[in-house]
């Protein structure tokens, strides 16, 4: 028997939209070189690796270039596969990760993730940021090497960064965001060339920071959000007790085995 592997489109209810993730189920966790080799082979924004542990699963996430500390869409994809393969809908799926315990539960027509809140502080722009982005941020905040830049909605949607220049800056990634008109409270896009991803299609972890960013500006704790990449994806986001609840749908695209 080979190693079960699934490809899932997350934060969408239709195939070939949202953010694709590979989900690999293992009996024991292999060494990091093997995990990274599989992630490179899959060449998706994230590959999730799961091993049974305690009352849940040990979960690690890899881009084609690096391991990351938190990934929302690959967590959603993992929970989706677990439910799709026989887990009762009222069962809370528990994950043990570099970002601490996370959980998922089928709820409100989707899967609700319980993720950590990421707080932000105001930041000065690194030299060359505007030239790399192709726009001057109206406001800039950060959490460590993760940046959030506010633009207009039209600016977010039209942005065409210079990824070589962006990769050279002292940051891991940057989320651009704006207030939205219509059904969404805010829109965003995420660029992470330093992590092997020029643009991430739909980013759950970024919304752990965007919830913090927009709560004061909009005076609310629940949001309808849209990530305006070429594939696009919708998220329902809620602040609750120092955590962030992110709800989305997911669709399995294929099932197979690693040799």
Question: Could you list the pLDDT tens digit for every one of the 259 residues in the chain?
Answer: 799 999 999 999 999 999 999 999 999 999 999 999 999 999 999 999 999 998 999 999 999 999 999 999 999 999 999 999 999 999 999 999 999 999 999 998 899 999 999 999 999 999 999 999 999 999 999 999 999 999 999 999 999 999 999 999 999 999 999 999 999 999 999 999 999 999 999 999 999 999 999 998 999 999 999 999 999 999 999 999 899 999 999 999 999 999 8
Give the pLDDT confidence score for residue 66 in this predicted structure.
Answer: 96
The phi and psi torsions of 215 (rounded to 5 degrees) equal -60, -45
- Comparing C-alpha atoms, which of 88, 97, 103, 113 is closest to residue 51? 97
For residue 124, indicate whether it is catalytic.
Answer: no
CA distance 186 to 193: 23
The phi and psi torsions of 63 (rounded to 5 degrees) equal -80, 180
> 10 Cβ partners below 8 Å, 6+ apart?
18, 19, 20, 21, 73, 74, 76, 77, 80, 202, 204, 233, 248, 250
> Catalytic pick from 46, 150, 195, 199?
46
Give the pLDDT confidence score for residue 242 in this predicted structure.
Answer: 93
Q: How many CB atoms lie within 10 A of CB 130?
A: 13
Give the pLDDT confidence score for residue 108 in this predicted structure.
Answer: 84
Question: Which domains, ranges and CATH numbers included, belong to the chain?
Answer: 3-115+246-258 (3.10.310.10), 121-241 (3.10.310.10)
């Amino acid at each position: 028997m080979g190693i079960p592997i699934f490809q899932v489109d997350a934060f969408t209810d239709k195939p070939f939209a949202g953010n694709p993730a590979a989900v690999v189920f293992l009996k024991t966790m292999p060494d990091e070189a093997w995990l990274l080799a599989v992630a490179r082979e899959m060449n998706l924004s994230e590959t999730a690796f799961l091993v049974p542990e305690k009352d849940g699963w040990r979960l690690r996430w890899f881009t084609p270039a690096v391991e990351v500390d938190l990934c929302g869409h690959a967590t959603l994809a993992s929970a989706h596969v677990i439910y799709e393969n026989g887990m009762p809908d009222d069962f809370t799926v528990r994950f043990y990760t570099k970002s601490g315990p996370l959980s998922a539960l089928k709820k409100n027509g989707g899967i609700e993730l319980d993720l950590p809140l990421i707080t932000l502080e105001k930041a000065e722009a690194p030299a060359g940021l505007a030239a790399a982005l192709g726009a001057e941020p109206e406001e800039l905040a950060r959490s460590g090497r993760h940046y959030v830049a506010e633009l207009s909605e039209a600016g977010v949607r039209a942005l065409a960064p210079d990824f070589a220049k962006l990769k050279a800056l002292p940051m891991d990634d940057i989320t651009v965001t704006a207030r939205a008109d219509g059904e969404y409270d805010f829109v965003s896009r995420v660029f992470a060339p330093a992590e092997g991803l020029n643009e991430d299609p739909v980013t759950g972890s970024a919304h752990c920071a965007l919830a913090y960013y927009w709560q004061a500006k909009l005076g609310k704790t629940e949001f309808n959000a849209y990530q305006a990449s070429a594939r696009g994806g919708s998220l329902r986001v809620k602040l609750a007790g120092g955590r962030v609840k992110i709800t989305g749908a997911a669709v399995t695209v294929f099932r197979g085995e690693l040799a």
